[in-house]
Amino acid sequence: MTFGLDHAVVWFRNCGEVRVARDPKIEVAGINIRIPESHDRDYTALITELADLRKGVKIRGETFLAISYWSEQERIGVFSKYTEIDVDGQWFDLDDFDAASSEMLEEVRIPANLKPNLSQFFFALEPDLHVIAFEAYADSKGLSARSVERYFSEALKSPSIVSRFGRVESDAVKSYGEIERILSLPDLKELRLTIRRPNSDDVGGRLARIIEERLKENGGDEYEEVYKAKGSHNLSPSERTRELALVAGENGQVKGRSLVNGVMTDTDTNDRPLIETTTFKSDEPGLPIFVRVAKSLFSRIHAMRVALRG
């Protein structure tokens, strides 16, 4: 896969932004997007339509996320995270250390189109993997995988998106190491796999048939497998269960419950996305570093899918 950089670099220069690394570390996470087989599986066009919406999505409290830049040619874009504030609400005066007076508030003039607390994060699309890689941590600022999940969950419900692409699923790619750790817990008492419909070419024919049969049994778009051990017995997941757990890691969720020092403890992959991390020199530009780390993340996801296909 080849990324071009020119368009994105020009965009940042035009905005007058200089990416100066205050912390020599970057973390990149991924979102797995699945367009139904019955619809137009053009992932580049999907992101283009999302960008053209020019719509922010509430991801937490007063915080919103939007696609503010997207190069269809380079398949590189920018997420902008910002805050919506109630300018008509009460304000606190630090000088008087009390509520601001009505006279002082009359001096407050914030244009409706300006939003505070902006932070921006690169993202990139690998259409063959239908995965978005994004900066989860850069320039001492963070964007959680759950926040990006919430963005896509809501934005993909837009009528223009559904009309062309159908019901598009999106899930953060979970840590493969965390899934293996859960499956290997010495006192594993409960294992819960939630699987939403994956792309069949990601998991191979055998696993795809198993998942499709389970979904058709109840006419659903996701299903759960739950295993429990009673009394002094512990779970020992089979190879089939391990494979399904890895599928759930990209298309759903894996939860475990185990005894730790006599206390029942829950573990959830939603708290552990797959992260690719690197450190770098503070004078290196941010975009080429992101591209390098994104490629590494894509390679890890590709290798896991090849292994699952057998």
The amino acid sitting at 46 is L
Query: What's residue 165's pLDDT?
Result: 97
What's the token pair of residue 4? 């071009």
Query: What's residue 6's pLDDT?
Result: 53
The pTM score is 0.88
What are phi and psi for residue 168, nearest 5 degrees? -90, 130
Is pLDDT of 13 > 50?
A: no
Crossing angle for the helix pair 6-14 and 286-309, to the nearest 10 degrees: 140
Judged by average pLDDT, the poorest of 56-65, 109-118, 186-195 is 109-118
d(CA 259, CA 247): 25
DSSP 12-70: HHHTT-----SSSEEEEEEEEEE--TTS---HHHHHHHHHHH---EEEETTEEEEEEEE
Q: Per-residue confidence at 7, pLDDT binned at 50, 70, 90?
A: low
pLDDT in tens, 149-162: 999 999 999 999 99
Burial 119-142 (b: 16+ CB within 10 A, else e): bbbbbbbbbebbbbbbbbbbbeee
Q: Per-residue confidence at 47, pLDDT binned at 50, 70, 90?
A: very high
